[in-house]
């Protein structure tokens, strides 16, 4: 605590130091990274933390499935994560066929699928398989250090 106070006191005298400290405080905001697989298609989805659950957009995978990831919280804190898969090949589509909700504490290992494991979902009409796996990763990490 004393170290923090000393840093703030020095920062007050040097605006550049204050700027560097504030950037460092916000670095490392987590983002949810999910890998979606359907047949031979593969897609990576990245979802930022948001206070608005309606801000998340569902991602279509082929013409049979949609995947929606909602990460609720603040930039420095995730409250919960909701993952939903919709079947698009049934009457009345989109019909939710899978939903998972994760609450803190989260597994923060960045390698896919550390948070969720691999989930396998099947279409009720054709029996088609959709798979996904997610992990929390540092949004500020260089692209070559993130998975995948």
User: Do the beta carbons of residue 87 and residue 65 sit within 8 Å?
Assistant: yes
DSSP letters, 7-47, are HHHHHHH-HHHHHHHHHHHHTT-EEEEEEEEETTEEEEEEE
Question: pLDDT of 93-139, one tens digit each?
Answer: 999 999 999 999 999 999 999 999 999 999 988 889 999 999 999 88
Query: What pTM was estimated for this model as a whole?
Result: 0.77
User: Do the beta carbons of residue 109 and residue 135 sit within 8 Å?
Assistant: yes
29 band by pLDDT with thresholds 50, 70 and 90:
low
User: Do the beta carbons of residue 142 and residue 120 sit within 8 Å?
Assistant: no
Phi, psi of 72 (to 5 degrees): -95, 135
């Amino acid at each position: 605590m004393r170290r923090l106070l000393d840093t703030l006191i020095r920062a007050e005298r040097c605006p550049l130091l204050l700027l560097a400290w504030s950037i460092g405080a916000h670095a490392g905001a987590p983002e949810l990274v999910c890998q979606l697989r359907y047949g031979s298609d593969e897609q990576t989805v990245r979802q930022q933390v948001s206070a608005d659950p309606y801000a998340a957009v569902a991602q279509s995978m082929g013409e049979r499935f949609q995947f929606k990831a909602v990460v609720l919280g603040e930039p420095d804190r995730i409250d919960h994560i909701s993952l939903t898969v919709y079947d698009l090949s049934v009457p009345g589509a989109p019909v939710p066929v899978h939903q998972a909700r994760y609450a803190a504490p989260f597994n923060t290992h960045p390698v896919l699928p550390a948070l969720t494991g691999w989930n396998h979902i099947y279409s009720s009409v054709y029996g088609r398989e959709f798979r996904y796996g997610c992990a929390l990763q540092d949004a500020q990490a260089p692209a070559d250090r993130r998975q995948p």
